[in-house]
A and B are shown apart, each in its own frame.
Chain A
Amino acid sequence: MTEQPPRAHHDMGGIAKYACEPVDIEPHTLTDFDKEVDALRQVLGLKGIMTVDELRRGIEAIPEDEYHRLSYYRRWIRSITDTLLRKGLVTEAELQAALEQR
């Protein structure tokens, strides 16, 4: 065996850990949450507020254990939130207040 290269956890091509992992080939229906997150990213992209590359960066920044625990679109909403906070388009105080109002 050669030494394991310092790849990032999202960079999954060919890694031995999943060599025997079966693939769930059954159809899965998207939830309303999934569709809304997907569409929100599109709106922010079309308006030039965030790129798909920023979405990916934010997803890749999720720690490995959480990355695998979170559903696909939960990774997305986390990345979208991260990006909006980083850019100051939404502040932590605003987000905190909005979360508490619920």
Chain B
Amino acid sequence: MSTLLETDGEALLAALRGLLAAKGLATPAEVAERIAITERATPAQGARIVAKAWTDPGFRARLLADGTATVEGLGIPLRGAPPLGVLENTPELHHLVVCTLCSCYPRAVLGYPPFWYKSAGYRARAVRDPRGLIAEWGTVLPETTRIRVVDSTADYRWMVLPLRPAGTDGWTEEQLAALVREGDMVGVTVPATG
């Protein structure tokens, strides 16, 4: 392995930037375009999907059956992204997503993975002590709720459809979307009112 790889990352990036542009392999304009596209995906976009699933049973069924096509139907581009799967929380079953091998995350929908999702502690603990792990967020599930940990190891990306909180009957999609946080769609937290 080349000792050049031990060069600091900032210097490697600066060197590659020029070389790749000169070779036509990656131009600054192409890189800037991908940054702009990536920044369009945010947890707020995921929250909009969740709120729609909470209020539209047909959409919910389609989302759970085929996440990729259903999300694209909302105008969210998944070009170049892996297929999206959506897993539904119920009072009996709670999902918690992790990638123990690296950091697979439904980026096309939720944006960049959060720092904690990529950390060694999160990756190591989620599969073995999920209840202890989510307690770090103050999340405590009822004793009767089973946890299903989802280790995202391969070609899909997984997003959690959280349980709609009680006391939200009649709320609009916008009001509901405002309740949903990033962690709710990974399973470390659950949405709540107030």
Do chains A and B interact in one complex? yes
Q: How far is the CB of B5 from chain A (nearest CB, A)?
A: 5
A99 touching B112 by the CB < 8 A rule? no
Residues of A within 8 A of B38 (CB): 35, 38-39, 42
* Contact status of A23 and B133, CB under 8 A, knowing A12-B120, A17-B124, A44-B26: yes
Please determine whether B127 and A90 come into contact, CB atoms closer than 8 angstroms.
no
Which interface class (under 10, 10 to 19, 20 to 34, 35 or more) fits A? 35 or more
What residues on B are CB-neighbors of A92 within 8 Å? 2, 4
Give the secondary structure class of A's interface: helix
Cβ 8 A contact of B5, one of A26, A36, A78, A94 = A78
Q: Output the nearest chain B residue to A25 by Cβ-Cβ distance.
A: B116
A39-82 interface with B by 8 A CB criterion? 39-40, 42-47, 49, 56, 59, 61, 68, 70-74, 77-78, 80-82
Interface residue? A11 (CB, 8 A): yes
Q: Could you name 16 residue pairs across A and B whose Cβ atoms are closer than 8 Å?
A: A14-B124, A25-B116, A33-B13, A35-B35, A38-B34, A40-B16, A49-B25, A56-B102, A71-B9, A73-B9, A77-B16, A82-B2, A95-B2, A95-B15, A98-B16, A99-B15
A to B contact number (C-beta, < 8 Å): 164
Interface flag for B170 (CB, 8 Å): no
B151 touches which of A13, A49, A102 (Cβ 8 Å): A13
Name A residues whose Cβ lies closer than 8 Å to a Cβ of B. 10-15, 17-19, 21-28, 30, 33, 35-40, 42-47, 49, 56, 59, 61, 68, 70-74, 77-78, 80-82, 84-85, 89-90, 92, 94-96, 98-99, 101-102
Determine chain B's interface SS by DSSP, over half rule: helix
Name the interface size band of chain B.
Answer: 35 or more
Please measure, in the bound complex, the distance between the C-alpha atom of A95 and the C-alpha atom of B11, giving whole angstroms. Answer: 10
Across the interface, which residues of A come within 8 angstroms of B19, CB to CB?
A: 90, 94-95, 98
Q: How far is the CA of A42 from the CA of B107 in the complex (A)?
A: 12
> Does B119 make an interface contact (CB < 8 A)?
yes
Q: What 1/0 flags go to B1-31 for Cβ under 8 Å of A?
A: 1101101111111111111100101100011
Q: How far is it, in angstroms, between the C-alpha of A80 and the C-alpha of B11 when the chains are bound? A: 13
Among A40, A71, A98, contact of B31 (Cβ-Cβ < 8 Å): A40
Residue numbers in A under 8 Å from B1 (CB-CB):
61, 82
CB 8 Å contact bits of B123-160 with A (1 = contact, 0 = none): 11111110001001100000000000001000000000
